[in-house]
Amino acid sequence: MGVRFPLGAQMHHNMSNNIKNKHSKIVITDFDGTLSEKLVNGQKVPGLISVLMSEPGIDKNCLVEYEELFNKYHPYEQDINLTLDQKQGFMLKWWVEVYSVLKKYKVTEKMIMASCDSPLVQLRSGVKQFFDYCNNLCIPIIIFSANGIGYNTIEYILKKNDISLTNVRICANILHFDANGQYASTKLPIIHSANKIGETLIKNDFVAPDQDQTDCVLIGDNIDDLKMSEGINFNNVIRVGFGDHASVEFTQNFDYVLPIDAGFEEITGKLNSQ
Ligand SMILES: [Mg+2]
């Protein structure tokens, strides 16, 4: 078990008020490491695309080129001195080049879907109950993912876990395949880590910019996930983070920090207890 950060008194107060008040609710959640487990058998699980690259059917050179791109672009992703424009340029180039690699090595839809069945890919406990709870109360859920093979895989994994998608929308990269089932293209705009921000949800009609009658429950596992509501005028945002460790960065920026291996039971329980 990870270290649990108790819900602070102030936060508890805020959350209670939010639940009791008349504002409607919306959930915006990350996928990799948030809805899916970040640790399986004590091992850190990489993002879905990295799981795909480790599949036995994938050409070894495909993995080599994918890793070269990671080594080239990841430092830009981490560079706090870049402007948002610069970072968005690098992140877009990164995904465009990764997609060229998928095409070059004829990665198929079948291989991508098979990677979703890897034992490394598991939803956190209580995710289905959380989705059912929100569905019953007509609370919309937006899954926001910058993972390269996003939409297709997320939809597959949710359906596989018998989760209703009635109240769920997925803002993530949609891949298209040719008649042979090989990767062909990605629907534009490409979602990457630097445009995984509220503004992208507005531009793509997932939410209206003015949501002042709505409280947002934002759930992520990375400090950058906080940007998923950036630019949207919500009445209030409750930030829930699955923490990596006893990180001050987490406890200072998320309202509610759960251990890295926690389930969704506590979030559902908190919403339901008011
Ligand atoms: Mg994540």
Is 50 exceeded by the pLDDT of residue 119? yes
Coil vs helix vs strand at 27: strand
If you average pLDDT over each of 22-31, 76-85, 99-108, which comes out highest?
Answer: 99-108
If you average pLDDT over residues 72-81, what whole number do you get? 94
Query: Minimal CA–CA distance to 76: which of 62, 46, 97?
Result: 97
Confidence of residue 3 (pLDDT cuts 50, 70, 90): very low
Neighbours of ion ligand 1 (CB under 5 A): 30, 32-33, 221
User: How much is the pLDDT for 244?
Assistant: 66
CATH superfamily of 9-40+122-272: HAD superfamily/HAD-like (3.40.50.1000)
pLDDT at 18 over 80: no
92-106 per-position pLDDT tens digit: 999 999 999 999 999
Closest to 123 in 3D by CA, of 160, 76, 97:
160
Smallest Cα–Cα separation from 36: which of 46, 26, 27, 28?
46
- CA of residue 179 to ligand 1 center, whole Å: 32
Q: What is residue 10's predicted lDDT score, i.e. its pLDDT?
A: 38
Q: What is the pLDDT of residue 56?
A: 87
DSSP, collapsed to helix, strand or coil, labels residue 261 as coil
- In the chain, the percentage of residues whose pLDDT exceeds 70 is 91
Q: Kindly give the distance from the C-alpha atom of residue 32 to the centroid of ligand 1, in angstroms, as a whole number.
A: 4
Tell me, rounded to whole angstroms, the distance of Cα 194 from its chain centroid: 13
Whether the predicted pLDDT of 4 surpasses 80: no
- In the predicted structure, residue 6 carries a pLDDT above the cut 70: no
Say how many Å lie between the CA of residue 228 and the centre of ligand 1. Answer: 11
Confirm if 49 and 148 have CB atoms less than 8 A apart.
yes
User: For all residues of the chain together, what is the average pLDDT?
Assistant: 90
Ligand 1 centroid distance, CA of 241 (Å): 10
What's the 88 CA to ligand 1 centre distance in angstroms? Answer: 18
Least confident range of 18-22, 54-58, 110-114, 235-239: 18-22
Between the CA of 226 and the centroid of ligand 1 the distance, in Å, is 11
- Alpha carbon of 245 to ligand 1 centroid (Å): 15
pLDDT tens figures, 230-261: 999 999 999 999 986 667 888 889 999 999 99
13 pLDDT more than 80: no
Q: What is the DSSP string of 103-130?
A: HHTT-BHHHHHHHHTSTT--BPTTHHHH
The whole-model pTM stands at 0.90
Q: Which DSSP helix (H) or strand (E) runs through 262? A: none
Q: Look at residue 274 in the predicted model and tell me its pLDDT.
A: 57
**CA neighbours closer than 13 Å in the CB half-sphere of residue 82:** 16
Q: What is the DSSP letter of 182?
A: B
pLDDT tens, position by position, 128-186: 999 999 999 999 999 999 998 989 999 999 999 999 999 999 999 999 999 999 999 99
CA of 222 to the centre of ligand 1 (A): 6
Compute, in angstroms, the gap from residue 31 CA to the centroid of ligand 1.
6
Grouping H, G, I as helix, E, B as strand and the rest as coil, residue 264 is coil
Which of 54-58, 100-104, 157-161, 264-268 is predicted least confidently?
A: 54-58
